[in-house]
Homo-oligomer: A and B are copies of this chain.
Amino acid sequence: MKRKIRMGMVGGGPGAFIGAVHRAAARLDGKIDLVCGAFSSSHEKGLKTSNELFLPENRCYPDYETMFEYENDLPESERIDCVAIVTPNHTHFDIAMKALENGFHVICDKPMTVNLTQAKALAEKVKATGLIFCLTHNYTAYPMIKQAKAMIESGEIGEIRKVITEYPQGWLASAIEDTNKQAGWRVDPAKTGISCCMADIGSHAENLTEYISGLKITELCADLGTFVLGRNLDDDGSVLLRFDNGARGIIFASQIATGEENALKIRIYGTRGAIEWAQESPETLRLKYNDKPRQLLRRGWSGAEVANELSRLPAGHPEGFIEAFANIYSAFANAIIARVDFDDKFIPDFPSVDDGVRGVAFIEAVVAS
């Protein structure tokens, strides 16, 4: 492929957090050009974003339907290859379905949809169209997560017995939803679906747990709570887990854990050792054993060869959230390039529509419990 991938974005207008992250992640490796967008339901706001991005005005569209239609009429040498969906949860399904119908590959924020029916329908559509669909469960793309997954697969810690995944945040500890746009839609059942905390961050915890351990959750028992008065959805939850190999576990997620930032952490205990990773210091795996000293395995260093493949910098030069997110975008871009170049040996390495289905199923099971 002799050119960059061309991408359009739906959502990500003024005040959005995740849209800017998607754009930075898409830019970082120089494989993707954002060439158009329907950034906001307000066309004026959309234009503001578009101008800030130095995009031509005629490719700032008032809505996604228009974008898909016009882009499809452009010559192949200008037309977008793919669409990034960064809108609130309840709109993902319609936008993604339409994008696929128009022949565009899709990269979509999580949770994929607001219910399992939608999720399954979307998975059907992806299979039917043969197009590439990527879900931005970005935490799985940290180099040291890939390293941990590889080490677990290779037997480093033996058979897994216990998994503890926690995800405390504090930002929703008081009723900020009236003034904070990000909080507003997340606690609104009309926009976010049947769950706030478990859908927004619990689903990341679930995805990371299954990804890194290679296990599947088979049973669960949940205790969801709403601590801030006036909310209609959970802002805290704890879940006891059983896995398909007999292991047990806990997922604990909270948005009322005052003072916590974004403290996703996973600990996996096996018969021979344990692996621990914390998102706020993502470049280190803590390895623990009963019969030898603890190890701090660091990105960029000897022993972290899998992670080093996914690194842009030497050890001691911190990489973070955007770099991990960019790994998702890079893998997505590589998949499109492979498709364009007819490379049928390419194996995609990013969260798929099936991961999205499992995530929505987890949310429904937790709420039902």
| Interface of A toward B, CB cutoff 8 Å | 2-4, 17, 20-21, 23-24, 27-30, 53-54, 157-158, 161-162, 164, 166, 168-171, 173-174, 221, 223, 225, 227, 236, 238, 240, 248, 250, 252, 254, 256-263, 267, 269-274, 279-282, 287-298, 300-304, 312-323
* With A173-B271, A221-B223: A294-B291 Cβ-Cβ less than 8 Å: no
A2, A4, A273, A294 pick with most chain B CB within 10 angstroms: A294
- Contacting pair B320 A170 (CB below 8 A): no
A291 and B168 CA atoms in complex are apart in Å by 17
A164, A274, A322 pick with most chain B CB within 10 angstroms: A322
User: Nearest 9 CB-CB pairs, A to B?
Assistant: A259-B288, A261-B316, A262-B316, A318-B320, A317-B321, A294-B296, A261-B315, A320-B320, A293-B295
Q: Interface of chain A, helix or strand or loop or mixed? A: loop
A271 and B262 CA atoms in complex are apart in Å by 18
Residues of chain B lying within 8 A (CB to CB) of residue A263: 316
16 A-B pairs (CB sep. < 8 Å):
A4-B54, A21-B313, A28-B28, A30-B54, A162-B256, A169-B316, A171-B290, A173-B269, A256-B269, A259-B290, A261-B298, A279-B316, A280-B318, A282-B318, A293-B297, A319-B322
- Contacting pair A269 B258 (CB below 8 A): yes
Residues of chain B lying within 8 A (CB to CB) of residue A28: 24, 27-28, 322
Q: How far is the CB of A156 from chain B (nearest CB, A)?
A: 11
A171 and B248 CA atoms in complex are apart in Å by 18
Residues of chain B lying within 8 A (CB to CB) of residue A315: 261-262
* With A30-B54, A259-B289, A293-B298: A254-B162 Cβ-Cβ less than 8 Å: yes
Residues of chain B lying within 8 A (CB to CB) of residue A319: 320-322
- Contacting pair A302 B312 (CB below 8 A): no
- Contacting pair A322 B313 (CB below 8 A): yes
- State which of B261, B270, B298 has its C-beta within 8 Å of the C-beta of A258: B270
